[in-house]
Amino acid sequence: MVISKGTIKKFRSGPWNGHGFNGFYFASHPIFPPILVHNEDNSYNIGYENSNYLGMTRVTLNQSGIVQRYIMKEGSTQWDLMYSTPKDLCDNYGQCGANSICRNYKSVICECLKGFIPRSQEAWSVLDSSSGCTRRTPLNCQNRDKFIKVEAVKFPDLINSRFEKSMDLEECKAECLKNCPCIAYGNSNFTSGGRGCLMWFGDLIDIRDFIEEYSGQDIYIRFNTKVKQEKETGDNPGGINYFWNASTRLAISEYYLEEEKNYKRTSLPSPRLKTKSNSQDLKASNVLLDNNLNPKISDFGLARIFGGDEISAKTKRVVGTYGYMSPEYAVDGTFSTKSDVFSFGVLILEMISGKRNRGFSHPDHHHSLLGHAWLLWNEDKALDVLDPRLKDCYVESQVLRCVQVGLLCVQKLPAERPTMSSVVFMLGNEEATLCQPKQPGFFIERSSIEINTVMSSDVRHSQNALTVTMPIAR
């Protein structure tokens, strides 16, 4: 099934899989099971059987390009909407570009398939994935390629595909493997244990996955065995994978939180235009974990708003938490979205080191945690920032990237810090090339009296973060 506007595809389902159309969830509803009729001219007709339902149903295509199914219960005179499609962004044709997958349940819905990288890193850094992805390493076509199983997805568009009705899954794999242009395969029909072979050639377009719906099928995507395999360390709260994922999710949360706050403060339909917001108190104690250990940012009592044309604003009363404030805000009262970026950078360095920025001490110098991390970075000893408790479960490239991103966020000048959308991209794409961080804010050694006071008070008890609060009427 395809919905088009002129010559432009707006939505498409996958092929018939024996129960319904792949990726088209309401085509196989149990109340109205579909009936597919294969005509002599190789065309197909589809109808719906009324399975003991004492009522009526109709399917319509409205002026907005939405397919809707209505039912009218027995004795009623009103049509009730049963379901409709497209139902979310991932149903839009080619939402994420070629060789990528759309996952509607994630904060950033588009990601490249394994073995692929963004065609345009600059575009993806601002959440524009329309350019799609390209292979990280070309296929070698010498029978050393392997296949990755991607479960429960809507199959790619069949523009460049081939169908073999009599092949089972193993025969399909062998046929694809010996045919170099073949980049993916899968069962076309999953009845009776699976039969029929679909093979794809060229770019894979319009893939989405499903979590709880039965309309997705498994596809096997070809990749070069030379593609670097990531070290498996588990996703437990004590492992570096957990930290890596938490950092990325926190960055995404901060970025989309800013977008959501902007949207709620304007009646305009666009969520990204007229106002910008600044948390002013992004710190460790304001990051909470849900039941799945996903970080969530909380406490916006000190948040400030400034107009869409303003780059920054200024206040005479500085509020927030020492140790997380940006230098321009702490000294001059100047704040912007780059102030929150600074606070996020402090959070990253605190998470990976297991130490607080405020109250940090080191026997060889009197710098804060930010200065300590920057010194180690310039000495090519950035791994020394890592919490010793993680020494047996980390991926070196991930640690170095987290330290580098953290240092980029805490640079002294706001103009040199990345935007939150860039931070999301840098943490989510290990192939992206990053700039070298410059001197962080507050890169000045404290007095020995202050350090001794901190060291003596940091031995037996935890240190509470001090918040400067200004009451504002609401």
pLDDT (average), residues 422-447: 79
First to last CA, the chain: 53
State the DSSP H helix or E strand holding residue 253, giving kind and residue range, or none if neither: helix 240-264
Residue among 127, 132, 130, 133 nearest 419 (CA): 127
Give the list of residues 6+ apart from residue 250 with CB closer than 8 angstroms, or none.
287, 295, 297, 344, 347
Contact 219, 133 (CB under 8 A): no
| Residue 298: per-residue pLDDT | 63
Q: Domain spans of the chain?
A: 2-88, 240-468
111 three-class SS: strand
pLDDT (average), residues 303-311: 56
pLDDT digits (tens, 9 = 90+) for 123-155: 888 888 999 999 988 887 766 788 989 988 999
Cα–Cα dist 118/134, whole Å? 6
Helices 337-353 and 240-264 sit at what angle, rounded to 10 degrees?
160
| Residue 88: per-residue pLDDT | 86
Residue 252: how many CB atoms within 10 A of its CB? 21
Q: Which of 91, 209, 281, 340 is catalytic?
A: 281
| Predicted structure pTM score | 0.50
Contact 97, 157 (CB under 8 A): no
| Higher local confidence (pLDDT), 27 or 322 | 322
Contact 348, 407 (CB under 8 A): no
pLDDT (average), residues 242-268: 49
Contact 98, 82 (CB under 8 A): no
Residues linked to residue 163 through DSSP beta bridges, in sequence order: 198
pLDDT digits (tens, 9 = 90+) for 363-402: 887 788 998 999 999 999 999 999 888 776 777 888 889 9
pLDDT (average), residues 42-52: 67
> What's the CATH fold of domain 240-468?
Transferase(Phosphotransferase); domain 1 (1.10.510)
Contact 227, 136 (CB under 8 A): yes
State the DSSP H helix or E strand holding residue 2, giving kind and residue range, or none if neither: strand 2-5
CA of residue 282 relative to chain centroid, distance: 21
Residue 277: how many CB atoms within 10 A of its CB? 20
Cα–Cα dist 187/198, whole Å? 6
CA of residue 439 relative to chain centroid, distance: 30
| Residue 332: per-residue pLDDT | 74
Q: Which amino acid is at 14?
A: G
For residue 281, indicate whether it is catalytic. yes
Contact 62, 46 (CB under 8 A): no
